[in-house]
Amino acid sequence: YSYDIIKKSGEFVINLTNEKLAKIADECGVKSGRDIDKWKVLKIEQLPSKVVAASSIKESPVCIECKVEDIIELGSHHMFIAKVVAVNVDAKYMDKKNKFDLTKADMVVYNHGEYIGLSKVLGTFGYSVRKKKIRK
* Helix/strand/coil for 39: helix
How many helices and strands in the chain, by DSSP H and E?
4, 7
pLDDT at 133: 77
Q: Give the residue from 51, 72, 49, 61 showing the smallest Cα distance to 25.
A: 61
Q: Determine the Cα–Cα distance for residues 40 and 50; give it in Å rounded to an integer.
A: 22
pLDDT in tens, 17-61: 999 999 999 888 888 888 888 889 889 999 999 999 999 999 999
> Backbone phi, then psi, for 113, in 5-degree steps?
90, 0
Entry field: residues in the chain: 136
What is the mean predicted confidence (pLDDT) over 72-101?
Answer: 96
Looking at per-residue pLDDT, the higher value among 12 and 119 belongs to 12
- pLDDT at position 81 is 98
Q: Which CATH architecture has domain 2-91?
A: Roll (2.30)
